[in-house]
Structure formats: structure tokens, C-alpha cells
Amino acid sequence: MDSSVTMEKIVSLAKRRGFVFQSSEIYGGQAGAWDYGPAGIELKNRIQRFWWKEMTQLHDDIVGLDAAILMHPRVWEASGHVENFTDPLVDCKKCKQRFRADMVPEEKLAKKECPECGGELTDTRKFNLMFKTNIGPVDDGTGLIYLRPETAQGIYVNYKNIAGSNRMKLPFGIAQVGKAFRNEIVTKNFIFRTCEFEQMEMQYFVKPGEDEKWFDYWREQRWAYYEKLGVRMDKLRWHRHGPGELAHYAKDAYDIEYEFPMGWKELEGVHNRSDYDLTRHQQFSGKDLQYIDQDNGNARYIPFIIETSAGLTRQLLMVLCDAYEDEKVADKGNEDDWRTVLRFHPALAPVTVAVLPLMKKDGLAELAQDIRKDLKEDFATDYDQGGAIGRRYRRQDEIGTPFCVTVDYQSKEDGTVTVRYRDSMEQIRVPRAELAARIRADIKAYKRV
Ligand code: ATP
């Protein structure tokens, strides 16, 4: 055993403890798609809720939206995706493998030599990442429709609806979480880059000229979010897009990167999209998308947009990698010397409190069940009565349960229970009546060790 965090360890734990499974595994798996198991969906829901609360509850000027995945195909012409949302691809004529040209070492690409088998490569072609399908009863091309490659466009096309229905004044934001689809060629690294994934995007509409100020503001806000999420801040850094990297819509762009086991990679983008999107939608739809500024003599203009765009499933991978630790806790010379622990922020942990009777007999199981019943309304709980207590603690450590409550013979006599803390493994006795308040206070005061 060693304490390094590798992708193999993460993938193996994720499967073993029901976080993430390969899609259609019994058929050999489906590349680019993954299924979230019982622990995984809890974690995903909690990350989503954490983000949603941050964006909507804690920012008075942001409201939510859930737009459809299927949109009018003209949306993707206006957005520039039909023309520009492409990867440069090369194929090997010999081994038939396909590569993103920007990921083939330069000297190999110049010689048109396959990085895998040395065979001859084709010329570089543009490959559009959007999934196409067909809507309606006839399949003759007239029903062409795309699976959205980002959630942002659903927000842009609704900006007038929301400004009108909710009487929003600039600056204001719209937040959305939902599925997006991209026909990605390179889908290794587990759930980092997949063909089906989820995004958490917020689009902030501002008066032209105030965009740079709000761009700075949102960079600060997004950095502070990760501090609240309780991840290791020395594993995060900013990357500013150079002139060659800027997307067609962007005036300025920064990524927050995280140091994953496979290196520093993009986690989320904060982009100044200028007035590109709404100008284009105005052109393509023929509808007036100007904002009427009643506070400034009914001046009309197209708002600028600051976007914060994060991958939910990618953030889940980050949270898993960040929380993962193989820790040496004893020196007996056997496998029990080590424990695998996920140090999630308690607000994210799939199970908050596990209730464990020391023994099944003598009424301890019934008492433990009864205590669990008390806690269930307020916390995600688990109950486990199988096997040695030490083993049961380890099982909870592996899914990141921050609090274990152990019910023993003393509990029957004086009504106290033991609270065992995941991170420090410290144990304290607490009266049953104070248990819920104690856990609530511990969650609020949580600091990553
Ligand atoms: P890349 O250049 O890595 O393909 P991108 O810069 O196009 O990604 P954006 O379009 O800015 O990514 O998407 C915003 C966020 O959505 C990313 O920061 C990432 O967290 C997430 N994301 C994008 N593509 C994928 C994917 N294929 N799988 C999982 N998450 C993704």
C-alpha cells in the first residue's frame, strides 16, 4: 500500500462503493458514458445543490431556468456551433485509430506519422462535436435536430422571457444545470471528458462598459466557491486564455484548473462573451433582443454576458480525487494498518451519519434503529450492524461518512452514544438528546484537516 492518489485507485473505489459504473458494462461498456450509482447520485445531487444555493440563494439577482435539451436547429447556427464547434482530427490509415491533431506530438504530425503504430496519417479534417439526430416521423433530413452541446444557449434564448416575467433589471443572472452532449474523440480519464455530461452554467447580463468590472467580480466569486466547497486550494490555479486560445465568442477568458492525478486540467471557465451571443440571436431570429434601460431614459442596447461554466460531472471527479486519501493509521504489519478515507465536506458526503450498534443482541440493534429514526428527517443516514465495529468504520470512511454514531451497553443505561469523527477518528460521548444539534454544529464548523 502507498499513499499516492492515482486514477486507477479512484476508478476502483468508485466502482467498489457504488459511485460510478461503466455504462452498459455487461455489454462490454459504452465509451464516453458512465452511470452514477447510489453513492454517486447522492454526491452529484449534493454538489449540484451546493452550486445552486451559491448561485441563486446567495445572489439576489440570479434566478434559475431549466430549458429543453432539444432546441431549434437555427440556435446552433446563430451560436456559431455549426461552423466552429469542431476538433481537428487525423486518422491512421494503418491501425485505423483516430486522434485529435492538437494532441499528436508536433514532429509526428508534420511527418504524418501515427503516434501509436508509425503508420501514415490522413490530412487534418474538421470534425463537428455536435450529436445529430432526427425529430418527427420521416427520416429525410428535414427533421435534423441536435443534442445541445452546452446549456448556455437555452439561457440566451430565454433572456427576454425571464427579464419580462420576473421584472429583472441589469445586471442579473440566470443559472441552469443540465445535460450536454459532445461527440468527443478522446474519452479516457474516467468521467473527466465524456460524450454525455452535465454542466452548471450561470450567465450574467450586464450593461456594456461594465463587463470588465463584473468579469473581475465573477472570477473572485468562483474562486471563493471552491474555498467553501472545502477542497485543497493549492490544487487550484487560474489559466488565462492567450490570443490563440480564445473561443470565437470570447473577449477574455480564464479557466480554473485543478491538479488531477493526470495533471492540471480545466475545471470551469469564466468568460467575457461580450454581446456576441445576443447580437447573433437577434440577427438569426429577427427578434429585437435589446434591453430597454428604464433607469437611463429608455436607452436600448444589447447586454454583455459574463459566463461561469462548470462541469458537474467533472466537478464530481475533482471532489473525489481531492477527498481521496490512503492513510496509515497503525503499525501492525498487516492490511489493517491502512484505511482509505474520502474527506468530503460533510455537506457533500453521500451519507452524513451512520448509526452502528456495537452488538446486534441485547436490544442494541433496536435502540440504534430508534436513534436512526430520530436523525433521518434531518440527515442522510445509514445503518450497519454487520461485522466488527472497526470494519464498519472503515466501510463508512470509504464513502466519506463524516459521523458514525455507535450505540453500546452504556447507551442503554445513561442514554449517551459515541460520535466517531471520520477525519480525526476521535470519539466522544454525547447524550442522545443533543446528538442532532451537535452534528449540525459540527457540519457548520467543518474545516478540512
Ligand atoms: P475542452 O477544451 O476541454 O474540450 P471546453 O473549453 O470546450 O473544454 P467549455 O465548453 O468551456 O469546455 O465547457 C465548460 C465546462 O464544461 C468545462 O470547464 C468542463 O468542466 C465541462 N465540460 C466540457 N466538456 C466536457 C466533457 N466532454 N465532459 C465532461 N465535462 C465537460
Distance of CA 359 to the CA centre of its chain: 39
Residue 134, beta-bridge partner list:
144
Q: What is the pTM of this model?
A: 0.95
pLDDT of residue 107: 92
With 0-12 / 13-18 / 19 or more C-beta atoms within 10 angstroms meaning exposed / middle / buried, residue 295 is exposed
> Which ligand 1 atom is nearest residue 268's CA?
18
pLDDT of residue 333: 85
- Name 250's Cβ contacts closer than 8 Å, sequence gap at least 6: 241, 271, 272, 273, 274
- Region 431-438: mean pLDDT is 97
- Name 1's Cβ contacts closer than 8 Å, sequence gap at least 6: 326, 328, 335, 337, 338
Which residue type occupies 121? L
Q: Per-residue pLDDT for 186 more than 80?
A: no
- C-alpha cell of 53? 444555493
Ligand 1 centroid, distance to 207 Cα (angstroms):
27
For the segment 98-121, what is each residue's pLDDT rounded down to a tens digit? Answer: 899 988 999 999 999 999 999 999
- C-alpha cell of 11? 476508478
For the segment 214-238, what is each residue's pLDDT rounded down to a tens digit? Answer: 999 999 999 999 999 999 999 999 9
Ligand 1 centroid, distance to 303 Cα (angstroms):
25
Pocket test for ligand 1, best of 44, 194, 199 (most atoms within 8 A of CB): 199
Q: Per-residue pLDDT for 252 more than 90?
A: yes
pLDDT of residue 283: 98
Q: Residue 36: pLDDT band by 50, 70, 90 thresholds? A: very high
Lowest-confidence pick of 13-17, 186-190, 291-295, 353-357: 186-190
Is 51 close to ligand 1, i.e. is its CB under 6 Å away?
A: no
Q: Give, using CA atoms, the residue closest to atom 23 of ligand 1.
A: 311
State the Cα–Cα distance between residues 418 and 367, nearest whole angstrom.
13
Is 79 close to ligand 1, i.e. is its CB under 6 Å away?
A: no
Is 193 close to ligand 1, i.e. is its CB under 6 Å away?
A: yes
pLDDT of residue 40: 98
If we measure between CA atoms, which residue out of 104, 129, 256 comes closest to residue 194? 129
For the segment 67-76, what is each residue's pLDDT rounded down to a tens digit? Answer: 999 999 999 9
pLDDT of residue 357: 98
- Region 18-28: mean pLDDT is 97
Q: Give, using CA atoms, the residue closest to atom 25 of ligand 1.
A: 193
Q: Residue 3: pLDDT band by 50, 70, 90 thresholds? A: confident
State the Cα–Cα distance between residues 365 and 355, nearest whole angstrom.
10
Q: Per-residue pLDDT for 175 more than 90?
A: yes
- Region 310-339: mean pLDDT is 94
Cell numbers 480525526: residue: 424
- Region 157-166: mean pLDDT is 95
- Name 110's Cβ contacts closer than 8 Å, sequence gap at least 6: none
For the segment 37-54, what is each residue's pLDDT rounded down to a tens digit? Answer: 999 999 999 999 999 999
* % the chain with pLDDT above 70: 100
**What mean pLDDT, rounded, does the chain reach?**
95
Ligand 1 centroid, distance to 337 Cα (angstroms):
39
Q: In this structure, are residues 302 and 279 in contact, taking their beta carbons and an 8 Å threshold?
A: yes
> Which ligand 1 atom is nearest residue 271's CA?
11
Q: Identify the structural domains of the chain with CATH numbers, from first to last.
A: 7-70+151-320 (3.30.930.10), 351-444 (3.40.50.800)
Is 149 close to ligand 1, i.e. is its CB under 6 Å away?
A: no
Q: Residue 300: pLDDT band by 50, 70, 90 thresholds? A: very high
Is 308 close to ligand 1, i.e. is its CB under 6 Å away?
A: no
pLDDT of residue 362: 93
Cell numbers 504489519: residue: 333
Lowest-confidence pick of 24-28, 303-307, 322-326, 443-447: 443-447
Q: Give, using CA atoms, the residue closest to atom 24 of ligand 1.
A: 193
Q: Give, using CA atoms, the residue closest to atom 1 of ligand 1.
A: 266
